[in-house]
Amino acid sequence: MPKQKVDEQYIIIQSLILFRQRSFHSTSMSDIAKACGILKGSLYHYFKSKEELMEKVIRYVHQYFKVEVFAKAYEENIPANQRFKNMMKASEKIFFDASTGKMYGNMGVESALVIPEFNPIIREFFQDFFNAIKHIYADKYAEEIANELAERSVAEVEGSIMMSRVFNDKSYIKNTHKRLLSRIEKSTEKQEKLSDSIV
């Protein structure tokens, strides 16, 4: 068995897995150390506190989303609706655990709700999410509308992730993705105002 290469990133990923499964408060430093194959005390060589570790975990997820999800919004050679699909597909992969069939929540958000210290970090995440969506909508809608739609979309997505998690039923988030997509696909020309009907 090759000696496990334990480095900061490895610990972050193991922590991420645990925090997602059992939340910040229900995961002890001991659990994390065990998952990494090192001892509790050794964690403090990499992170000066559990909070700092959590912060890095959230930043890691943020970075992951930036590269794997949000980036898809800016691949200008691809049509808007396809870019949107790509984003959704990439993000769905993150929230489902294929092996257990269980939904993960947005660990960062959940932590921010419970530990206000993480609020600023999570705001950055939302800001990037918002920007990505807005960028796509801006293809079809005027700035102000795109703005409003993006804000709303982020809320819808987050709300439906929560619903999917509480009911352990993917359909909430899947339906939301579909609906968001249709807002792009159905608007053939750049629109200046929101119509009165319902999507």
Residue closer to DNA by CB (options 55, 156) is 55
Could you say whether residue 9 binds DNA (CB under 7 A)?
no
Closest to 16 measured CA to CA, from 64, 71, 48, 67: 64
Could you say whether residue 46 binds DNA (CB under 7 A)?
yes
Residue closer to a second copy by CB (options 76, 166) is 166
Q: Which residues of 44-77 are buried (b: 16+ CB within 10 A; e: fewer)?
A: eebbeebeebbbbbbebbbeebeeebbebbeeee
Could you say whether residue 92 binds a second copy (CB under 8 A)?
no
The contacts of residue 54 (CB under 8 Å, 6+ apart) are 15, 19, 24, 111, 115, 118
Could you say whether residue 155 binds a second copy (CB under 8 A)?
yes
Find tokens 């334990």 and name the residue. Answer: 6
Contacted entry of DNA, a second copy, none for residue 46, CB cut-off 5 to 8 Å set by kind:
DNA
Alpha carbon distance 102, 95 (integer Å): 9
CB of 67 to a second copy, least distance (A): 22
Residues found near a second copy in the complex (CB under 8 A): 23-26, 105, 109-110, 112-115, 119, 122-123, 126, 148-149, 151-152, 154-160, 162-163, 165-168, 172, 175-176, 179, 182-183, 186-187, 194-199
